[in-house]
Amino acid sequence: MKPAKEIRVGNIIMVDEKPFIVLRSDVNGSSRTGFTYKWKMKNLLTNAPLENVFRGDDKFDVVILDKKPVTYSYFADPLYVFMDEEYNQFEIEQENLGDALHYLKDGMECEAVFYDGKAISVELPTIIARQVVYTEPAVKGNTSGNVLKDAKIENAIEGNQHIVQVPLFVSNDDVIEIDTRTNEYKRVVRN
């Protein structure tokens, strides 16, 4: 059992016998009056959101989830199917994938996250490389400061094509690296 003051964003905790992931944590108070922690959470089984306030000395069970390397296989409406190296298939609902949908690509390697033997979500590699499908050409003279433009990147699901902010020098067909935690452009990959 951990006190609320030691729980961090991304931890999975048990609240009323249900697993929740902490998505956001706001701290209020002072050392004299005591701190309170306002958490925005999501139920891992139902995806139901929950916001609650806890005192710093409230205690929680922290859950360590099992993870297994898998490869994205295909979309079987409404489920996304992933396969491990023994050819076992795991189906994950669209709601549980979150931002991972923007980056999925056929044959992409990632990690499936399991709770009670059921695959509940996937974790992507921190940095991935994707080709720019479309971006506007740079406008001459528009270079004062750190100017960014939209770039549409490739992925397996047409309806979930993602837009990333990139510097002006990035053009169509460039391969760029993206940080999947922050959805930020990192650099152009040169061959």
Could you tell me the residue ranges of all domains in the chain?
2-63, 67-123, 127-188
Do 67-123 and 127-188 show the same overall fold?
Answer: yes
Task: Report the phi/psi class of residue 21: left, alpha or beta, with left for phi > 0 and alpha for psi in -120 to 50.
Answer: beta
Angle at 165 between CA 160 and CA 168, to 5 degrees: 130
3-state secondary structure of 132: strand
pLDDT tens across the length of the chain (191 residues): 888 888 877 788 888 888 888 878 888 888 788 888 898 888 877 778 899 998 888 899 888 888 899 999 988 888 889 999 999 999 988 877 777 888 888 888 999 988 878 888 888 888 888 888 888 887 766 666 678 888 888 876 666 678 888 888 888 889 999 888 778 888 898 75
Which CATH number does 2-63 carry? 2.30.30.30
H or E stretch at 97: helix 94-97
Tokens of 95: 């709601």
CATH class of 127-188: mainly beta
Domain at 67-123: CATH architecture = Beta Barrel (2.40)
Q: How many CA atoms lie within 13 A of 51 on its CB side?
A: 5
Task: Count other Cβ atoms within 10 Å, centred on residue 96.
Answer: 18
pTM above 0.75, yes or no: no
